[in-house]
Structure 1
Amino acid sequence: MKPLGLLLVGLLVINQSIGVDKKKFKTCSQSGFCKRLRDFKPERSQYVADFTSAKINENYVLVDVNTVDLKSEQKAVLDKYVLKISSLADSTFRVEMQEVEPLYGRYTPMLTLDGAPKPDTLTEVSKSSDKLVLENSKGHRVEVYADPLKIEFLDLEGETAVVMNENSQLLVEVPRERKEHEVFTETFNSYHDSRPRGNEAVSLDIGFPEAYQVYGIPEHTDKLNLATTTSGDPYRLFNMDVFEYELDSRMGLYGAVPVMYAHSPKRTVGVFWHNAAETWVDVVNSADTNVVSSIVNLVTGGSGRRVDARFLSEANAIDVFVLMGDTPGDAFRQYTTLTGVAPLPPKFSLGYHQCRWNYVDENDVRGVDENFDVHDIPVDVIWLDIEYTQGKKYFTWDYSKFPRPLEMVGNLTAKGRKMVIIVDTHIKREKGYFVHEELTEKGFYITDKDGKDYEGWCWPGPSSYIDFHKPEATKYYTELYRFDRFPGTTKDVHFWNDMNEPSVFNSAEVTMPRDCRHFKESAPEGATGLDSYWENRHVHNEYGNFHLRGTYQGMLDRTDGKYRTFLLTRAVFSGTQRFAAVWTGDNMAEWSHLAASVPMCLSLGVAGISFCGADIGGFFKYPDAELMTRWYQAGAYQPFYRAHSHIETKRREPWLYDEASMKLQREALRRRYTLIDFWYTLFYEHTRDGLPVMRPLFQEFPKEEAVFTIDDQYLLGNKLLVRPVTASKARSVPVYLPGKDTGTVWYDVDTYQRHLANGYIDQPVNIAKIPVYQRGGTIIARKERVRRASSLMADDPYTLIVALDSDNTAVGTIYIDDGETFEFEKSNAYIYGKFEFNGNELSYSFIDPASTYPSRSWLERVVVVGLRAPPRAARLQQAARSDPLHMTLHEGNGVLVVRKPGATMTEPWKIQFSY
């Protein structure tokens, strides 16, 4: 790097170190299209449908829509559009609207959908000049009104659940030919955006009658339930590198997932705004205007509740999926049916990850690894940040610090551990660097507004960025992960894609200029003008997904598709879950950031991205022993469990704290490992049902209004309730136990104390206590023999925790396979089992009887919690076995322990109780 480059990067880092600089990032009033569209509030919409043109196919209808001049008596037609409404499987609709003869094509995201949506039937119920009524196979109706255009989606009770353009804020800006001397340029902080196509933004208002709250549109740092935005900016969806982000903010962050859910005791519905351009979202909740709510309630006899949203995007088409619910789980599943689920992760990735920017050399890595063993602390992965490379050049090693990478990796894998290393999206522009020279020669870089290879600044200094829209460029990048192209890696080296918003230090809003050019595969033959490429403004939020797809495919290809992969990303968009896990970015060692990790991951979870976590201890600053301990305790119950810290922070591995704190942190880690198969089962079930692993309370208790705004506690599956301690020196925490209307029972996992759900309780805590409760009626499998890595626990025995409901019953599941290959898909090499307790019998059977796996795990212990009367005897029945079992009753808390049944997990069995 040139001295000037070093100076510039140094100044950037110093400048950023003082915290988020809001002046670097636009507000709505500084964003030309946001200000323009937000001010667009006509009394009447100028969009009119012509139902004489309606053409109904098997699953969609096409309708001509015109904009008319409302000032003329004849309502002269200004622009012509085609409206397409499609009926899709799983109670989903799609609404698309584009110009009939566009000057330039409009971009549709290419990687968000997990294949083409499956169609459902759409039939015409009635049609007049004023109204068109359609119906899908489930009985959901769509009512389209002509003048002005309005679209209502009715639930199965015939009530309007979603309505579009009721507030007349539909707007499609039609690009025009630039007139001589006309200027389209927009400037922000001295950065000029050429905007060659002029205005091309879109806007649509979407109402949710009867809704109490709306959720989704991550990534932001405020509450799970979205706030009314009439005061201040809308929520922003624009992927950016926001250094030292602040909390309780609607600013954009690293991710932008444009899916929103509206919930009430009556129903849950959702909308997915299928657009990769910068987007702002306004929200108005009628609960914030009590007078209006009261009037609506009086007139309609309804709840008087309603939420209105408005989506405003800089470019692309009107393209909206409507998810008709009607439960939270239904709506969440409908979204993942469209965008995909997280693939079953390799089992090690659910263990603990130890990271730092940076472990400086092989000796450092060896010392960290050995200290986990010395202090009897489990860990599955050691990570390397950017300093492992030769001068910030990815797919290289700094051999002065890491002279024997294969040996280093082998030392870890010999203990059952793995390694993750970082590969960012920027490529160093340095003569002799093989990746840069090959990308330049092949013409695979994104270009600037003049068609030259774009050059920005990131960690290496001068950098360029791969144009993944070129299929050949993606293929080239994918092949870089081959073992012969990246020596020093093995199947046990996995990857981390950071800075992939993309981050550009010397550009507007620390990201790529909007007028940079991407390859347009669908460009008209021979096109050379504006219609021959996409601008970054069109594809921006999806860029990270293209990067991830290349990495993910490269990791699969290097082993010919035999082994599963682990990949972590910072940039997030719809569909990201199909490729990578996500972390919440550069947080701080502060109690408020620990607390914020819960709603941030819950918000991502309902948006399809379950594999979420936050840097344990905070990336910036240094956590004291109490905060670090509480963060380890909280992180043990979040899907992705990694400690990470900034290069300038004090080292903070568990053994560097005092002895008492280290023991508490070790205990938190051991709790994670006892539940490793529980986590693995949750992720497997996510692949089948598409539901979040980490769930908001309203998902499981959708009619209990008190839980609609609770986001400081959550559920893992439907079985564990977790309430992290997020305040210093806490002696008690309020915990809401949901299900009071259904007689739900909760058991403290430490004491087995029984609580009948009745709202809030005051739970005493000390520094060793984190409130976690198992739901009555569930069975959880644990592995009590914690070893140094999860792979070494594969054949260890199970302990079943059977927590009984008020009917003296419980159910649970278990998933078992080899933890790393795709044999579970290719040859049904897995076990998916079900546990059932009915008071007289505990049984184990197979949900998928055709599958099989030679597990050597066995049943070591059964703990039954909440028995009303203890049995006199118990007997195991498995195949030809019929053995009496030894039991112990703990009368103080009514817990029955059945010791060493010895049943194998490869065949069904029963434990029969006699009274």
Structure 2
Amino acid sequence: MITNTELEYKGDLYPNQIVDYIRDTHKLYFTTENGVILELTVLQDGVFRFRYATERVFQPDFSYAVSGTANYGYNRLEITETDTEYLVETDKIQVLVDKKTLRVQISDLEGNILNEDELGFHWEENYEHGGNTVKMSKIAQNSESFYGMGDKATHFNLKGKRVNNWCTDQYAYGKDQEPLYKAIPFYIGLHNNKAYGVFFDNTFRSYFDFAHERRNVTSFWADGGEMNYYFFYGPQMSEVVRAFTNLTGTPELPPMWAMGYHQSKWSYFPEKNVKEIAAKFRQLNIPCDAIYLDIDYMDGFRCFTWDKKKFPDPKRMIGELNKDGFKTVVMIDPGIKVDRDYWVYQEAIENDYFCKRADGPYMRGKVWPGECNFPDFTNPEVREWWAELYKEFMAEIGVHAVWNDMNEPAVMEVPTKTAPLDTRHNFDGHRCSHRKAHNIYGMQMVRATYEGVKKYVYPKRPFVITRAAFAGTQRYSSTWTGDNVATWEHLWIANVQVQRMNISGYSFVGSDIGGFAEQPNGELFARWVQLGVFHPFCRVHSSGDHGDQEPWSFGKEVTDIVRKFIEIRYQLLPYLYTMFWRYTTAGTPMLQPLVHYDQEDIQTHFRTDEFIFGKHILVCPVQEPNAKGRRMYVPRGKWYDYWNNELIEGGKEMWVEADLDTMPLFVKAGAILPKYPVQQYVGELKIKELVLEVYYKLGEERSLVYEDAQDGYEYKKGQYSLRRLKLLGREKELIVQQFKDGSFITPYDNFKINLHGLPFKIKKIEVDNVKVALEELKLNGDNSIQITKDFTELHIIGI
């Protein structure tokens, strides 16, 4: 039972005695004497929603974050009332609601406390703005760790930290600087090997204190709106992340070219320069799938226009680049130049699509074009109009993808860096001020962009990028970590941020490789590429005012190293594509921090550098200059060194040698990694055989290979190939079984199987229970076998 705690904050108001209880199927309502209502909704056995109203009035129930395709349903719901409490129980957790204070305590079915209110819900009347500041405080459990919260540039484990959420244009931000570009108010708590998650679905500026002010208390609060949060129970962290991702959604599968290497700069112009960059990639045989055009391609920075002096015939240029395997990605910002002769501005004025101030005039702010107005993307009519603006770019000129920047929204030459807080928004019919709409402004802009790009690149798949985001933005767009700096510290920050984003529901993310601000040296650039090729979104981008930042900008040694690692990414594209398929269908993050991979191992709880790429590859970037190697933690289990096939036992810290041309990479024993041949761009080659790198293990391991046409929507009609591969290793046997689903016919007929770590010499091989002559399988001295792709069971027997 929850005991009363002395109330510490005199200005705060608290619920008191419960006087009424009502059950409406899966919704439970508890009303207190002083007019507080707790609406407790059971969504799944391990997912509850807690929503509080004061003065007996709930605000309209509306969320941009929650996906319309989220799955709900539970097996059992029982409510028991005693003299002092209500007990709500499902097949996974029990929630105790204290009758005297409305505080809650959440436990598993064995009675282990998972999460417990301290002061619980309380609020303060905000006389400056009207409405309430809503607050929640929880007891921080012994040895509890905290993770998540999106793009925070701080240590991966958030214990002892305080952060806040307010999408901000934070050029050249530093370590621990707050806030940044994204607002993802979701965290994971872990203690006693049990993980849970909390998502505070409130778009006002919010704050989270992870035992910073008081070491035994974790709290979160917002400047307005409702106290409305979701609780997710694991007990595995992976279950928490999947449940949160189910609630907020996943993207559809992007085209495979979007997973290639991309090159960007502020800015590539004129056309001659763009063509020279493209030609250099092909000349040096460095794979690349996309070139980006920053704001200088526009006429006076006016969105949806072209500077005809720099780009006299963009359709021709884009077509020629496409023939050479380069997709063209263009930047679009939200600020629309105030210009009566500018057609986009005219349409917005005629239809009243711009945001207005509280006292009537249009909200104006300075951005790249000068004085601008800003479309109200929270208005569905505006989003529909904005989507249609992409018709010429995508359907007629042939642009392949769009990059939304400055959409926090960023406003120059004002201390707040953004729109005035009295700016008005439609908020899909729930009219409000910028205080409420700010954090979802960028999300709704890229939502509109996504709808337009999707419509006009059809039957191809859309690819869109955003800088600002709220929880759920992953449904529409990839993202990157903003305007970082070319320093070793920022290499560390990028590593942490991408891991954090992945367990915050947002996997399609990367950083500006090499740093956006300032100039890297060749060593830093090479080390950053080594990390970046193992991020879901892989793009070099720089501010351009300090020199060139292409793969060949730092001399032959660095060029060769960069090529080597980009080629590894292109070889691993079917592995990466499979990772993405698992993310879109099951909500499985594409990168796993070590604590997500093995939370039972206490050594992982404070690890920052190492991560699991997909399911089977361990990556640890080198993050210091002049390094010949580094110490790293290898998680429990057996791992093969990617470079020399040495088998090591994990669960320990070890020194790994890594000169500049290499980095620590390991493959989990039992893994089967699919590989393509190196291509200069996706689709350059017809794949004649799929390479399967098979890593022997004593025991069992499962792998997946997902393939389809790499673009288009036929995969949604069953035109895909999903191979479920099971490896079973014994002392003198190796069995690989294949179970195939889907009707897509892959272009290759055979697998080339490379065997790693086989502890015996091959005596005979059976395919589907039929002995096959070794010469028929083209068995080589290096333990590679060529075999039909349609086998069901490969049985290798040793001497």
- After TM superposition, give the deviation of residue 44 of structure 1 in Å: 10
Determine if the alignment matches structure 1 residue 158 to structure 2 residue 90.
no
Which residues of structure 1 form unaligned runs of 5+?
1-38, 68-79, 177-183, 185-194, 290-306, 524-532, 890-895
**SS at the partner of 2:318?**
helix
**SS at the partner of 2:656?**
strand
Matched with 1:59 is 26
Give the 3 Å change call, closer, same or farther, for CA 810–144 of structure 1 in structure 2: closer
Q: How many angstroms apart in 2 are the aligned matches of 1:265 and 1:788?
A: 49
Counterpart pick for 1:683 among 577, 580, 594: 580
**SS at the partner of 1:512?**
coil
Q: How many angstroms apart in 2 are the aligned matches of 1:690 and 1:96?
A: 25
Matched with 2:328 is 419
Structure 1 residues 514-593: aligned runs within 5 Å:
514-522=421-429, 533-559=431-457, 561-593=458-490
Determine if the alignment matches structure 1 residue 110 to structure 2 residue 3.
no
Matched with 1:295 is none
- After TM superposition, give the deviation of residue 649 of structure 1 in Å: 2.0
Letter in structure 2 aligned against 1:213: S
Matched with 2:3 is none
**SS at the partner of 2:139?**
strand
Determine if the alignment matches structure 1 residue 755 to structure 2 residue 648.
yes
Cα deviation code 1:148-197 (max 9, x no counterpart)? 22111111322221123x2x253234577xxxxxxx3xxxxxxxxxx4xx
Q: How many angstroms apart in 1 are the aligned matches of 2:554 and 2:246?
A: 46
Structure 1 residues 647-796: aligned runs within 5 Å:
647-739=544-636, 744-783=637-676, 785-793=677-685, 795-796=687-688
Cα deviation code 1:80-103 (max 9, x no counterpart)? 23210010125100001113455x
- After TM superposition, give the deviation of residue 730 of structure 1 in Å: 0.4
Structure 1 residues 312-351: aligned runs within 5 Å:
312-351=221-260
Q: How many angstroms apart in 2 are the aligned matches of 1:695 and 1:354?
A: 26
Matched with 2:382 is 473
Relative to the length of structure 2, the TM-score reads: 0.94
Q: How many angstroms apart in 2 are the aligned matches of 1:460 and 1:509?
A: 19
Matched with 2:207 is 280
Counterpart pick for 2:282 among 369, 373, 384: 373
Matched with 2:97 is 144
Give the 3 Å change call, closer, same or farther, for CA 107–91 of structure 1 in structure 2: closer
Q: How many angstroms apart in 2 are the aligned matches of 1:130 and 1:522?
A: 42
Matched with 1:897 is 783
Determine if the alignment matches structure 1 residue 364 to structure 2 residue 283.
no
Q: How many angstroms apart in 1 are the aligned matches of 2:396 and 2:769?
A: 48
Counterpart pick for 1:310 among 219, 225, 230: 219
Give the 3 Å change call, closer, same or farther, for CA 869–881 of structure 1 in structure 2: closer
Determine if the alignment matches structure 1 residue 835 to structure 2 residue 763.
no
Matched with 1:170 is 121
Matched with 1:187 is none
Relative to the length of structure 1, the TM-score reads: 0.83
Q: Is the 8 A contact 1:111 1:545 kept in 2?
A: no
Cα deviation code 1:616-659 (max 9, x no counterpart)? 11011111111111111111111111001103120121223211
Q: Is the 8 A contact 1:86 1:122 kept in 2?
A: no
Letter in structure 2 aligned against 1:325: G
Letter in structure 2 aligned against 1:542: I
Residue-pair matches, total: 788
**SS at the partner of 2:244?**
helix
- After TM superposition, give the deviation of residue 871 of structure 1 in Å: 1.6
Q: How many angstroms apart in 2 are the aligned matches of 1:452 and 1:852?
A: 58
Give the 3 Å change call, closer, same or farther, for CA 880–792 of structure 1 in structure 2: farther
Q: Is the 8 A contact 2:36 2:54 kept in 1?
A: yes
Query: Relative to structure 2, which stretch is displaced further, 877-886 or 324-333?
Result: 877-886
Q: Is the 8 A contact 1:107 1:538 kept in 2?
A: no
Q: Is the 8 A contact 2:633 2:652 kept in 1?
A: yes
Q: How many angstroms apart in 1 are the aligned matches of 2:518 and 2:634?
A: 35
Cα deviation code 1:577-632 (max 9, x no counterpart)? 11111111111111111111111111111000111111111011111111111111
Q: Is the 8 A contact 1:396 1:486 kept in 2?
A: no
Matched with 1:72 is none
Matched with 1:212 is 144
Q: How many angstroms apart in 1 are the aligned matches of 2:679 and 2:638?
A: 33
Q: How many angstroms apart in 2 are the aligned matches of 1:601 and 1:796?
A: 34
- After TM superposition, give the deviation of residue 430 of structure 1 in Å: 1.0
Counterpart pick for 1:509 among 391, 404, 416: 416
Q: How many angstroms apart in 2 are the aligned matches of 1:520 and 1:861?
A: 55
Q: Is the 8 A contact 2:527 2:623 kept in 1?
A: yes
Q: Is the 8 A contact 1:874 1:886 kept in 2?
A: no
**SS at the partner of 1:792?**
coil
**SS at the partner of 1:801?**
strand
Letter in structure 2 aligned against 1:536: H
Matched with 1:911 is 794
Q: What is the RMSD of the two structures over their aligned residues, measured on CA atoms? A: 2.4
**SS at the partner of 1:421?**
strand
Counterpart pick for 2:754 among 830, 841, 863: 863
Determine if the alignment matches structure 1 residue 83 to structure 2 residue 38.
yes
**SS at the partner of 1:900?**
strand
- After TM superposition, give the deviation of residue 519 of structure 1 in Å: 1.5
- After TM superposition, give the deviation of residue 240 of structure 1 in Å: 0.7
Q: How many angstroms apart in 2 are the aligned matches of 1:684 and 1:162?
A: 33
Determine if the alignment matches structure 1 residue 235 to structure 2 residue 163.
yes
Matched with 2:691 is 799
- After TM superposition, give the deviation of residue 146 of structure 1 in Å: 1.9
- After TM superposition, give the deviation of residue 113 of structure 1 in Å: 3.1
Matched with 1:597 is 494
| Percent identity (aligned) | 26
- After TM superposition, give the deviation of residue 723 of structure 1 in Å: 0.4
Letter in structure 2 aligned against 1:91: G
Q: How many angstroms apart in 2 are the aligned matches of 1:496 and 1:880?
A: 55
- After TM superposition, give the deviation of residue 66 of structure 1 in Å: 4.1
Q: How many angstroms apart in 1 are the aligned matches of 2:704 and 2:747?
A: 18
**SS at the partner of 1:834?**
strand
Query: Relative to structure 2, which stretch is displaced further, 331-340 or 859-868?
Result: 859-868
